[in-house]
Chain A
Amino acid sequence: MQVTFKDVTLSYDGKRDILKHLNFVIQEGSLVCLLGPSGGGKSTTLNLISGLLAPTGGHIFFDDADVTKKDALGRKVGMVFQNYALYPHLTVLKNIEFPLKMAKMSKADRTKRAKELAALVHVEDQLDKKPGELSGGQQQRVAIARALAKEPSILLLDEPLSNLDARLRIEMREEIRRIQRETGVTTVFVTHDQDEAMHISDQIMVLHDGHIQQFSTPKKLYASPDNLFVAQFIGEPVINSIPATALNHDLAGIVPDSILTQAQTAGIRPEALTLPQRALDPLVTLHGKVLEFDQFGRESTANIDYNGYQLISTEMSQLAHDTKELDFTLEKKGFFLFDADGKRIFGGDTPMVLVGDQSAQKDPAAAPTESGGDTHAE
């Protein structure tokens, strides 16, 4: 089912808007993550899709049908809650059967269907146990089977992995991806864990402050963040962000003045700082002092002082341990400039027009910073 939000606004108290004029389209059959810090409106958005909450303004469509006024049952959504919300007094089989029983399916049919679902999520040998006897991961599987039982129009998962330990979390996120692929059900997944989101989603919607910050593929979110918030939220270690003025001297004559004067903050991914001999597509060479250099196994972190600002690089494993000062390369990929509003004005998928570059005549200011196809908040 394709889900469309048109100008959806939500306010609990009528004064402060929790969500502000949300517009987006979730494609049928895709797995979409709602990602953002707490209080950003992720769960609220999920509840609006589910029908547990009604928007204060705007319209919600499932395919072409306006479902704004319909409740969760009318929308036929399936939902998995953070604490799984299994019925503790019913066996696993009865839990999975419950929605089918409510839909008045005959006993034989619903048992058959419940067993199929149990097999899909790999709990077929736990059918007679009560939820309390299962591990967290198994409870999660049962909750997914129950949500899928009535062949939902859309499957919604509200922070489904946050109650699991680290190892199980990785296993279950692969499982969710597998189950989603096998069933082809449109899935929306809420998480505050960017790693989780980056690994399983077709598309990620970053929500913050009631606005969609960016809605695109994980790859694009990383390589081409629309704004400073997204750049800082996505990526581990966190992107280096320093005042653009610190780079003014080195970038003058390379990045056009029209951009440099607008730029407020520079974002540099830790892997965009390399040693000159390893550089792939250099933008400029910088000079700095080594503050700290750690190497552990295949990974290394160099902490470099550049014009009084600290920069972290993960690409300097070749660095000699006694290096005090060095020239290092700033790569084009992974370098962004943001204006005073935090909007990206240089780098990413904006065609890079450099000073003296004859091949591209386009005015960079007119270049689209947002690609078509994706939908953005206003």
Chain B
Amino acid sequence: MKKVASILRYTILTLGALIMILPFFWMLSTSLKTQPETVQIPPVWIPKQLQWGNYVEAFKAAPFARYFVNSVIVTGVTTIGQLFTSILAAFAFSKLRFWGKNILFLIFLGTMMIPGEMLIIPNFVTLSNMHLVNTYGALILPWLASFFTVFTLRQTFNSVSDQTYFAAKIDGASDWRFLWHILVPMSKSTITAVTVLQVIGSWNAFMWPLIVTNDENMRTLPVGLQAFTTDAGTNFALLMAASTFVIIPMVVVYIFLQKYIIAGISNSGLKG
């Protein structure tokens, strides 16, 4: 009985893993195909001759170097800025006493129920009135605060006892000192987790950069992938080749920090 259960468990897990890995495999495989092979029926799983040239061609097809710089800037500033505001807010909600704290927290919590798509138009109108369309400002500004991050960090900060806060106060630490020298180092794993989630989220963001930029110089990598889709159809081989080098940095980040990501998500009891 035990053996059967074990076999069943492994079969299900293996199937799950295969389903997860399939799109990535398909992406890699397609990126090395010739144009006809990409649309051939029955599908070609492994191309007869690996077309490494696709990568060179894809990289030349659009100013990917520029896109890469844009993506790095937007991801970096968004992540650091969002982390900074979230840490401050989470500290206030966790350790400080102020009038209306719980009500304010509930209101913020309520904003998590508003779907992101609903915010696109009001945000776009606001930013275009600020003449920020086609600038880094438009790409960065709306993402400098995230209540999901605040909430996750608050949960972690709450797990640090108030006694530790009082001890630091008595030791002569200001709130600022306590926050950066005690609380943040103590919450290292959650902070790493939300940072990685944010980096991945920012790096992969598509809809918002697409809407607020039409100048080629301001595009980010995911938007840049559109270069392979024209009215005449999509060049799948080149698209997949470009997709591969777009996601590589994220794969590297994830592989190195997966321990923290998993810990962080299971701590907060929420999905990322």
Is A79's beta carbon under 8 Å from chain B? yes
Residue from B166, B171, B186, B188 in contact with A99 in the complex, judged by beta carbons closer than 8 Å: B171
Whether A269 is near chain B, meaning CB under 8 Å from some CB there, is no
The yes or no answer to B161 lying at the interface (CB within 8 A) is yes
Interface residues of B in 151-205 (CB under 8 A from A): 161, 163-164, 166-173, 177, 182, 185-186, 188
CB distance from A155 to the nearest CB of B (A): 11
Q: Name the contact of A150 in the complex, choosing from B164, B166, B167, B172 (C-beta under 8 A).
A: B172
A81-B177 CB under 8 A given contacts A89-B188, A103-B172: no
B170-A89 in contact (CB<8A): no
Residue B171 contacts which of A50, A88, A98 (CB distance < 8 angstroms)?
Answer: A98
Given A88-B186, A89-B185, A102-B177, are A82 and B163 neighbors across the interface (CB < 8 Å)? yes
A88, B163: Cα distance in complex, Å: 13
Q: How far is the CB of A151 from chain B (nearest CB, A)?
A: 13
Binary interface encoding of chain A residues 341-364 relative to chain B, with 1 for a CB under 8 A from any of its CBs, else 0: 000000000000000000000000
B163 touches A99 (CB 8 A): no
The CA-CA distance from A83 to B172 in the complex, in Å, is: 19
Report the number of A-B residue pairs with Cβ-Cβ less than 8 Å.
Answer: 52
Contacting residues, chain A, for B161 (C-beta < 8 A): 83, 85
Contacts of B164 in A (CB 8 A): 85, 87
Known: A87-B186, A88-B186, A102-B177. A81 touches B172 (CB 8 A): no
Q: How far is the CA of A89 from the CA of B167 in the complex (A)?
A: 15
Q: Is A312 an interface residue (CB 8 A)?
A: no
B172 to A79, Cβ gap below 8 A? no
A81, B186: Cβ atoms closer than 8 Å: no
Of the listed residues B163, B171, B182, the one surrounded by the most CB atoms of chain A closer than 10 A to its CB is B171
The reply to whether B188 and A85 form a contact with Cβ atoms under 8 Å apart is: no
Q: Of A82, A89, A150, which contacts B186 at CB under 8 A?
A: A89
Verify B166–A52 contact, CB threshold 8 A: yes
State the majority secondary structure of interface residues on B: helix
Q: Given A81-B163, A85-B161, are A50 and B185 neighbors across the interface (CB < 8 Å)?
A: no
Residue of B nearest to A89 (CB): B185
Mask for A39-79, Cβ within 8 A of B = 1, else 0?
A: 00000000000101000000000000000000111000111
Contacts of B167 in A (CB 8 A): 79, 81, 85, 146
Q: With A88-B186, A89-B185, A89-B188 known to touch, is A73 a contact of B169 (CB < 8 Å)? A: yes
A73/B186 contact (C-beta < 8 A), A83-B163, A87-B164, A102-B177 known: no
1/0 per position for A87-99, CB-CB distance to B under 8 A? 1110000000011
Q: Are A85's CB and B166's CB within 8 A?
A: yes
- The complex places the Cα of A103 from the Cα of B171 at a distance, in Å, of 8
B169 touches A52 (CB 8 A): yes
Q: CA A72 – CA B169 in complex, angstroms? A: 7
Q: Range of interface residues on chain B?
A: 10 to 19
Q: How far is the CA of A77 from the CA of B167 in the complex (A)?
A: 10
Min C-beta distance of B80 to chain A, whole Å: 21
Contacts of B185 in A (CB 8 A): 89
Please report the C-alpha to C-alpha distance between residue A278 and residue B172 in the assembled complex, in whole angstroms: 60
Given A81-B163, A85-B161, A87-B186, check contact A99 B169 (CB 8 Å): no
Shortest distance from the beta carbon of A94 to any chain B beta carbon, whole Å: 10
Cα A88 to Cα B159 in complex, Å, equals: 13
CB of A124, distance to nearest CB on chain B (Å):
21
Q: How far is the CA of A309 from the CA of B164 in the complex (A)?
A: 50
Assembly CA distance A79 to B163 (angstroms): 10
CA distance A82 to B226 in the complex (A): 60
Q: Establish whether residues B182 and A99, one from each chain, have CB atoms under 8 Å apart when the complex forms.
A: no
Closest partner residue, chain B, to A52 (CB atom): B166
Bound CA span A50–B171, Å: 12
Distance (whole angstroms) from the CB of B143 to the closest CB of chain A: 29
Within 8 A of B (CB), among A143-188: 146-147, 150
User: In the complex, what residues of B have CB within 8 A of residue A82's CB?
Assistant: 163
Contact of A102 (CB < 8 Å), options: B163, B166, B171: B171
CB proximity of B263 to chain A, nearest CB, Å: 16
A98 CA to B182 CA, complexed, in Å: 10
CA distance A373 to B161 in the complex (A): 40
How far does the alpha carbon of A79 sit from the alpha carbon of B165 in the complex, in Å?
A: 12
Q: Which residues on the B side are within 8 Å of A98 (C-beta)?
A: 168, 171, 173
Complexed CA–CA distance, A79 and B164 (Å) = 11
Q: Provide the bound-state CA to CA distance between A77 and B169, in Å.
A: 11
Q: Which residues of chain A are near B186, meaning CB under 8 Å?
A: 87-89
A88 — nearest CB in chain B belongs to which residue?
Answer: B186
A102 to B186: give the CA distance in the assembly, Å.
Answer: 18
Whether A81 lies near B166 (C-beta < 8 A) is: yes
A90 nearest CB across to chain B (Å): 8
B168 to chain A: closest CB distance in Å? 8
- Asked whether B172 lies within 8 Å of A73 as measured between CB atoms, the reply is yes
- Bound Cα distance from A79 to B161, whole angstroms: 15
A residues in contact with B166, CB < 8 Å: 52, 72, 79, 81, 85
Chain A's nearest CB lies how many Å from the CB of B6? 36
Most buried by A among B166, B168, B170, B172: B170
Among A52, A78, A88, A102, chain B packs the most CB atoms within 10 A around the CB of A102
Given contacts A79-B167, A85-B161, A99-B170, list 10 more A-B pairs with CB under 8 A.
A52-B166, A71-B169, A72-B166, A78-B170, A83-B163, A85-B166, A87-B168, A87-B186, A88-B186, A146-B171
A interface residue numbers (CB < 8 A to B)? 50, 52, 71-73, 77-79, 81-83, 85, 87-89, 98-99, 102-103, 146-147, 150
> What 4 A-B pairs are tightest by C-beta distance, nearest first?
A102-B172, A99-B171, A85-B167, A81-B163
- Interface residues, chain B, with chain A CB atoms under 8 Å away: 161, 163-164, 166-173, 177, 182, 185-186, 188
Complex A-B: 24 CB contacts under 8 Å: A50-B170, A71-B169, A72-B166, A72-B170, A73-B172, A78-B170, A79-B166, A79-B167, A81-B163, A81-B167, A82-B163, A83-B161, A85-B161, A85-B163, A85-B167, A87-B164, A87-B186, A89-B182, A98-B171, A99-B170, A102-B171, A102-B172, A102-B177, A150-B172
